[in-house]
Amino acid sequence: MKEYFGTIFRSVRSLLKGMKLTGYYFTHPKEIQTEEYPDNRATLTMFDRFKGEVTMPHDENNEHRCTGCQACEIACPNGTIKIITKQELQPDGKKKKAIDTFVYHLELCTMCNLCVVACPSDAIVMGQSFEHSVYDKKQLKKVLNLPGSKIMEGVE
């Protein structure tokens, strides 16, 4: 009999403890943790190491740092990167390897960062964009070097 009422007492107390906690949070709206969906694109700052997609930065003269060495293509586990090279005539008459197109398949990319680490000339970096959904799969195949761009001076 004592045990019977003891059980009831203990159960009710444990249930009230839980209700006290939910009651606390109900009455303290300051504890709310919901974060808004990042609609504030203009002022949004991501973590600087955030791995969104592979990008190739170009400077104001439309020049990039990619030598076309294909280290990233080898480093990529999924075949995400495909580099098509061409022979470019240098001013001094010598021929030199350069990239024609840097094809990046976003749909295959796992954002593992191995290509960025492998790149000897820091030509590619991880971008900050996080919204990749498109209506057509073809749009996920991207060419990273801008049209008409060429390699920066002094990058070997």
Residues engaged in binding other proteins (CB under 8 A): 8, 10-11, 14-15, 17-23, 25-26, 29, 31-34, 47, 49-51, 75-77, 110-114, 117, 126
**CB nearer to other proteins: pick between 87 and 110:** 110
Phi-psi category of 8—alpha, beta or left, where left has phi over 0 and alpha has psi -120 to 50?
Answer: alpha
The rounded distance, in Å, linking the Cα atoms of 15 and 26 is 16
| Shortest Cβ 103–other proteins spacing (Å) | 19
| Shortest Cβ 76–other proteins spacing (Å) | 8
Confirm if 139 and 104 have CB atoms less than 8 A apart: no
Q: Which residues of 69-102 are buried (b: 16+ CB within 10 A; e: fewer)?
A: bbbbbebbeeebbebeeeeeeeeeeeeeebbeeb
| Shortest Cβ 80–other proteins spacing (Å) | 11
| Shortest Cβ 113–other proteins spacing (Å) | 6
**CB nearer to other proteins: pick between 75 and 155:** 75
**CB nearer to other proteins: pick between 11 and 90:** 11
Helix (H, G, I), strand (E, B) or coil at 17: helix
